[in-house]
Chains A and B, each alone.
Chain A
Amino acid sequence: MKVTLRIQRYNPERDSEPYYQEFIVEAGDDKERILDLLHQVKWKYDGTLTFRRSCAHGVCGSDGLRINGRNRLACSTLLRDVNYKKPIVIEPLPSIPIIKDLVVDMSDFYKKYEAVKPYLVNKSPAPEHERIQSNEDAEMLFESAKCILCGCCTTSCPSSWSDENYIGPAALLKAYRFVFDTRDEAADERLDIVDTPDGIWRCHTIFNCVEACPKDINLTWHISQLKKRVAEREM
């Protein structure tokens, strides 16, 4: 069957602003990945079409895009997940600078991720064996540890759109990942970093991020746990 992709294009060497271009591609059935269709365009019709990708099954976080107005991974979105009777609109993740076509500049996203000290801090002498942690405590971390840093959440967040200093849901999720790790000793430092107007308090529980996350992570819940922890600390 034939499907139309309406792709946002922008090459800073040539274009003064982004524009849309339509390509008609051939799909075997409705289980084709959007990523495969983008490849079809690139490999068959127009080698200049530019996008990132690597794993092709939703584990590396390279191909977060805006597909029919919703942030998702091109490799985990199948034709049957969208209305393909009409042109499928494919755009780069919103609200961050475009480098070329669908490739965006993630440096601010990474900077905010680094700001929460995204690593285990434990200065106590390590035992000879593993540090003991209950499976329940370990599983408290698993959902947050699933994050693939794709940027779908933060770039869908209205608070991020209106406040460029807002640290954003992905970085807050990472803060949770370590604050709630029973092996970590730097919870206070991290809570200081997120307990600011541009930190957890900028989140107004709008849930856009949750809807956008391709790994089904409930970001809002994790952010609310951080808020609770901060409140407990003040008691």
Chain B
Amino acid sequence: MINHQYDVIIIGAGGAGLRAALEIPEGFSCAVLSKVFPTRSHTGAAQGGIGAALGNEEEDSWEWHMFDTVKGSDYLGDQDAIEIMAKDAIRAIIELEHMGMPFSRTPEGKIAQRRFGGHTRPEVPEDPDSKRVAVKRSCYSADRTGHVMLHTLYENCLKQQVHFYSEYFVTDLVMSGKSCAGVVAMDMATSEVHVFHAKAVMLATGGYGRVFRITSNAHVGTGDGFSFVYNNGLPLQDMEFVQFHPTGLWKLGILISEAARGEGGILLNNKGERFMERYAPSVKDLAPRDMVSRAIITEIREGRGFKGSDGTSYVHLDVSHLPKEVIDEKIPEITGFARTYLGVEPTKEPIPIQPTAHYAMGGIPTTADAEVIRDKKGTRVPGLYAAGEAACVSVHGANRLGTNSLLDIIVFGRRGGKAIAEFIKEAEFAPLPADAADRTLAKIDRLMNSKGKEKAGALRTELQEKMMEKVGVFRNAKDLADMTVEIKTLRDRYQEVSIDDKGKIFNTDLVEAIELGNLIDTAEPIIHGALVREESRGAHSREDFPKRDDKKWLKHTLIFKTDDKPKIDYRPVSITRFQPKERKY
């Protein structure tokens, strides 16, 4: 075992972790740990853009952005935090541009902006109550926005000489009493276990898409950060809210960004009808994601989908009517995916798509300064911070709008970095418990020596298929109750997993087996959260409770692990400017 000491440890080198690292002042030691080389983080997969009311192409205001985010969240987002984000967005984008991020530009040379689902302005700007129409708010770099953002942030970290531990797989937090005192990690190159003693730790570990069979998320999106928190007796918040993006490539789940519809693409059923006209008459194909996903599943259930050779069904996304320049210049990457993976020529034929598990609205509850909290009163966990998709501030509530995650990660990544910079000035190192690495060592030891019959790959597929079937776009009490039993069984069977690779060098067999444990830990609160929340709100849609119920459910769910079934608690939602209204588009 090898010991290190740093003032700050950041877990995760996606947008959130890198942005936070840039805030740690000279004179303090900081290291960023990542299980993949930083530029391979999943932020690089983001396509469509990042939202800010710059008003470069059309009149816009941060208040409208705030309103859209609140409404998009189905009123579960915390309005104090959303206000911070919508206001800070403008500064944050300008800052990225100054850091060197290459953007598409307007004819005047300003940052170009495009339309995106759920982002609107009043048709008559002077009359805030006039009908809302789509607005150009998404700042973009063709359809590679996340890629160039991730590279720009990494480049700035190199310039600032941030220290990285690449291909270090974090396995646990080190808690010292009620504070966080560091992390435990395995160097993948050698399987050596390292303990990093720190004053402050930030979790910027991203999402958990791989809990589901069809997902837009990377293979490494295994919810590790959620698992660390959950296993250390800390709560997770609003885990039932899983975003299914309406347009994943059929069978593969690879994302076809909303940018395709922002540029004019439309959805069609097997009768060639533009069915979104029926579900969202004003914004149609640019309705928020939860609504479009439900509309697609409804079309399919009512027999208006196409049957795929794999037994699953899909509908069509058509961009073939768009000018060739728009396809080649504005959405080259995503149309390329359709060509490469399905052999479809988007300039001539429609693209088969189906909803794909995409984004975690819920996560580790934090303050607006990324400080992790431990209970409904908002008590802080000294030394522990979380930002990005792993965190739940909550700015996305029950449903995230497109372009708001890239924004979230840089706004709250930076705020978290600043809060840490303040904290470490005064804070001492919390004492490092002698048994810090014991749980990790025992886990590795068990997996390396197990002779059990279960295989991680097969067990993972089972989990993913069941989650897709029973905890997907539509949910009901029976399926969810079944899943609470199922997940227990899967957890028991997980104890019987054995691996083939007994070596020390780059043992991905071992890493994947540990990741499977994290997936199971993450699925459990999603299932239980979905079962207790007896209403439909945003992305959480209960067939047996089809209405939103503000009287009972306008509150955040907190969920704690116990030896028996998880314990549930609730936190109030911050409502400042906008009273809940029915959500229509």
Number of residues from B at the complex interface, CB < 8 A: 63
Task: Report the bound CA distance from A28 to B309 in whole Å.
Answer: 10
Does residue A228 face the partner (Cβ distance < 8 Å to B)? no
Q: A126-B98, A148-B147 are in contact. Are A119 and B158 (CB under 8 A)?
A: yes
Does residue A69 face the partner (Cβ distance < 8 Å to B)? no
Q: What's the least CB distance linking B202 to chain A, in Å?
A: 21
Query: Does the CB pair B218–A56 fall under 8 Å?
Result: yes
Residue on B nearest A141 in the bound complex, by CB? B102
Residue on A nearest B94 in the bound complex, by CB? A130
Query: Does the CB pair B155–A120 fall under 8 Å?
Result: yes
Q: Which residues of B contact A76 (CB under 8 A)?
A: 340
Residue on B nearest A48 in the bound complex, by CB? B501
Q: Which residues of B contact A131 (CB under 8 A)?
A: 97-98
Q: Kindly specify which of B103-111, B345-353, B471-479, B543-551 makes contact with the partner chain.
A: B103-111
Does residue A58 face the partner (Cβ distance < 8 Å to B)? yes
User: Interface on chain A toward B: helix, strand, loop, or mixed SS?
Assistant: loop
Q: Which residues of A contact B104 (CB under 8 A)?
A: 135, 138-139
Interface string of A32-46 (1 = CB under 8 A from B): 010000010011101
Query: Does the CB pair B218–A130 fall under 8 Å?
Result: no
Does residue B504 face the partner (Cβ distance < 8 Å to A)? yes
Does residue A218 face the partner (Cβ distance < 8 Å to B)? no
Task: Report the bound CA distance from A146 to B103 in whole Å.
Answer: 12
Q: What's the least CB distance linking B316 to chain A, in Å?
A: 18
Task: Report the bound CA distance from A23 to B252 in whole Å.
Answer: 24
Does residue A53 face the partner (Cβ distance < 8 Å to B)? yes
Count A-B contacts at CB 8 Å. 160
Query: Does the CB pair B341–A57 fall under 8 Å?
Result: yes
Query: Does the CB pair A11–B505 fall under 8 Å?
Result: yes
Q: What's the least CB distance linking B389 to chain A, in Å?
A: 15
Instruction: Identify which of B109, B499, B503, B508 contacts A135 (C-beta below 8 A).
Output: B109
Task: Report the bound CA distance from A128 to B93 in whole Å.
Answer: 11
Query: Does the CB pair B99–A120 fall under 8 Å?
Result: yes
Does residue A27 face the partner (Cβ distance < 8 Å to B)? no
Task: Report the bound CA distance from A46 to B501 in whole Å.
Answer: 8
Query: Which residues of A from 5 to 32 have beta carbons under 8 Å from B?
Result: 11-14, 28, 31
Query: Does the CB pair A145–B98 fall under 8 Å?
Result: no
Q: Kindly specify which of B39-47, B177-185, B279-287, B290-298 makes contact with the partner chain.
A: B39-47
Query: Does the CB pair A142–B106 fall under 8 Å?
Result: no
Q: Which residues of A contact B144 (CB under 8 A)?
A: 142, 145-146
Q: Which residues of A contact B254 (CB under 8 A)?
A: 56-57
Q: Which residues of A contact B220 (CB under 8 A)?
A: 54
Q: What's the least CB distance linking A49 to chain B, in Å?
A: 9
Interface string of A117-128 (1 = CB under 8 A from B): 011101000101
Instruction: Identify which of A46, A60, A132, A134 contacts B45 (C-beta below 8 A).
Output: A60
Task: Report the bound CA distance from A39 to B147 in whole Å.
Answer: 25
Does residue A196 face the partner (Cβ distance < 8 Å to B)? no
Query: Does the CB pair B141–A31 fall under 8 Å?
Result: no
Q: A48-B500, A145-B102, A145-B151 are in contact. Are A56 and B112 (CB under 8 A)?
A: no
Interface string of B103-137 (1 = CB under 8 A from A): 11111111110000000000000000000000000
Residue on A nearest B144 in the bound complex, by CB? A146
Query: Does the CB pair A132–B109 fall under 8 Å?
Result: yes
Residue on B nearest A76 in the bound complex, by CB? B340
Does residue A149 face the partner (Cβ distance < 8 Å to B)? yes
Q: What's the least CB distance linking B42 to chain A, in Å?
A: 7
Q: Kindly specify which of A99-107, A155-163, A197-205 makes contact with the partner chain.
A: A99-107
Residue on A nearest B159 in the bound complex, by CB? A119
Task: Report the bound CA distance from A47 to B501 in whole Å.
Answer: 6
Q: A61-B39, A99-B505, A146-B144 are in contact. Are A181 and B100 (CB under 8 A)?
A: yes
Most-contacted residue by chain B among A12, A43, A51, A119 (CB, 10 A): A119
Does residue B2 face the partner (Cβ distance < 8 Å to A)? no
Does residue A70 face the partner (Cβ distance < 8 Å to B)? no
Q: Which residues of A contact B44 (CB under 8 A)?
A: 55, 59-60, 148
Q: Which residues of A contact B98 (CB under 8 A)?
A: 122, 126, 130-131
Query: Does the CB pair B341–A78 fall under 8 Å?
Result: yes
Task: Report the bound CA distance from A122 to B108 in whole Å.
Answer: 21
Q: What's the least CB distance linking B54 to chain A, in Å?
A: 8
Task: Report the bound CA distance from A11 to B509 in whole Å.
Answer: 14
Query: Does the CB pair B505–A119 fall under 8 Å?
Result: no
Instruction: Identify which of B39, B110, B148 contacts A130 (C-beta below 8 A).
Output: B110
Residue on A nearest B40 in the bound complex, by CB? A60
Q: What's the least CB distance linking A63 to chain B, in Å?
A: 10
Q: Which residues of B contact A145 (CB under 8 A)?
A: 102, 141, 144, 147-148, 151
Does residue A114 face the partner (Cβ distance < 8 Å to B)? yes
Does residue B322 face the partner (Cβ distance < 8 Å to A)? no
Q: A44-B457, A78-B341 are in contact. Are A60 and B36 (CB under 8 A)?
A: yes
Q: What's the least CB distance linking B140 to chain A, in Å?
A: 11
Query: Does the CB pair B94–A100 fall under 8 Å?
Result: no
Residue on B nearest A214 in the bound complex, by CB? B340
Query: Does the CB pair B156–A119 fall under 8 Å?
Result: yes
Q: Which residues of B contact A137 (CB under 8 A)?
A: 105
Task: Report the bound CA distance from A13 to B44 in whole Å.
Answer: 34
Task: Report the bound CA distance from A57 to B47 in whole Å.
Answer: 13
Does residue A183 face the partner (Cβ distance < 8 Å to B)? yes
Does residue A233 face the partner (Cβ distance < 8 Å to B)? no
Task: Report the bound CA distance from A59 to B155 in whole Å.
Answer: 18
Task: Report the bound CA distance from A31 to B337 in whole Å.
Answer: 12
Does residue A62 face the partner (Cβ distance < 8 Å to B)? yes
Query: Which residues of B from 36 to 73 have beta carbons under 8 Å from A?
Result: 36-37, 39-42, 44-45
Q: What's the least CB distance linking B87 to chain A, in Å?
A: 16
Task: Report the bound CA distance from A44 to B254 in whole Å.
Answer: 24
Instruction: Identify which of B93, B109, B148, B340 contacts A58 (C-beta below 8 A).
Output: B340
Does residue B453 face the partner (Cβ distance < 8 Å to A)? no
Instruction: Identify which of B102, B337, B458 contacts A181 (C-beta below 8 A).
Output: B102
Query: Which residues of B from 145 to 193 have beta carbons under 8 Å from A?
Result: 147-148, 151-152, 155-156, 158-159, 189
Task: Report the bound CA distance from A33 to B509 in whole Å.
Answer: 21
**Extra inter-chain contacts (10) besides given A11-B503, A43-B457, A57-B252, CB under 8 Å:** A43-B458, A48-B501, A50-B509, A55-B42, A56-B218, A61-B39, A62-B36, A62-B37, A103-B506, A119-B100
- Residue contacts A-B, CB under 8 angstroms, 18 given: A43-B455, A43-B457, A47-B501, A51-B508, A53-B219, A57-B252, A57-B337, A60-B44, A76-B340, A99-B506, A110-B37, A119-B155, A120-B99, A135-B106, A135-B109, A138-B102, A138-B104, A148-B39
List residues of chain B with CB under 8 Å of any chain A CB: 36-37, 39-42, 44-45, 93-94, 97-100, 102-112, 141-142, 144, 147-148, 151-152, 155-156, 158-159, 189, 218-220, 252, 254, 310, 333, 337, 340-343, 455-458, 499-501, 503-509
List residues of chain A with CB under 8 Å of any chain B CB: 11-14, 28, 31, 33, 39, 42-44, 46-48, 50-62, 76, 78, 99-100, 103, 106, 110, 114, 118-120, 122, 126, 128-135, 137-139, 141-142, 145-146, 148-149, 178, 181, 183-184
